[in-house]
Amino acid sequence: MAKPNGLIPPNHVNRILAVAVGGLGDSILFSPVLKALRSQFPHAQIELLLASRLAQSAYASASEVNQTKVVHLNHSVLPTNIAELLHFGLRSRVSGGFDLGVFATGLNPKLPILLKMIAGISRTECAPNPPTYFTDLACNVALARRFDDDINESDVFLPLTEESRVEAKEVLGRYGVSWDEDRIVAVCPSTDLWHRPRWELTKLKKVVMLLLRAGFEGKFVVIGDAKEAKEWEHVGAEGMGVINLAGRLSISASASLLRKSCLALCNDGGLMHVAGAVACQLVVIMPNAPLSYHPPGENTTVIHSRLSCSIACYPRRPKKCKTAECRGDIAVEEVFRECAHKLSAL
User: Do 330 and 191 share a domain, yes or no?
Assistant: yes
User: Do 77 and 211 share a domain, yes or no?
Assistant: no
**Among candidate residues 155, 177, 208, the one where a domain is terminated:** 155
Is residue 4 one of the residues assigned to a domain? no
Phi, psi for residue 193 in degrees, rounded to 5: -110, 155
User: Do 147 and 169 share a domain, yes or no?
Assistant: no
* Cα separation, 45 vs 12, whole angstroms: 12
Q: Mean pLDDT check: name the lowest of 184-198, 202-216, 299-313, 314-328.
A: 314-328
Tell me which H or E stretch contains 116. helix 110-119
Domain count along the chain: 2
Tell me which H or E stretch contains 221. strand 219-222
User: Do 44 and 60 share a domain, yes or no?
Assistant: yes
Note the pLDDT tens digit of each residue in 3-46.
555 567 677 899 999 999 988 999 999 999 999 999 999 999 99
Is residue 2 one of the residues assigned to a domain? no
* Cα separation, 238 vs 258, whole angstroms: 20
Confidence of residue 316 (pLDDT cuts 50, 70, 90): low
* Triad 157, 158, 159: Cα angle to 5°: 120
Is residue 101 one of the residues assigned to a domain? yes
β-pair partners for 4: 148
- Asked if the peptide bond before residue 315 counts as cis, ω within 30 degrees of 0, the response is yes
Residue-number span of the structural domain to which 306 is assigned:
163-344
pLDDT of residue 261: 98
Is residue 1 one of the residues assigned to a domain? no
- Closest C-alpha to 171, from 254, 94, 89, 239: 254
Is residue 3 one of the residues assigned to a domain? no
* Cα separation, 287 vs 289, whole angstroms: 6
| pTM check: above 0.85 | yes
Report whether pLDDT(312) > 60.
no
Residue 209 gets the label, from left (phi > 0), alpha (psi -120 to 50) or beta, of alpha
User: Do 300 and 201 share a domain, yes or no?
Assistant: yes
The CATH number that applies at residue 18 is 3.40.50.2000
Q: What is the CA radius of gyration of the chain?
A: 21
Report whether pLDDT(90) > 60.
yes
User: Do 266 and 232 share a domain, yes or no?
Assistant: yes
Mean pLDDT for 298-319 is 74
User: Do 315 and 265 share a domain, yes or no?
Assistant: yes
* Cα separation, 184 vs 338, whole angstroms: 17
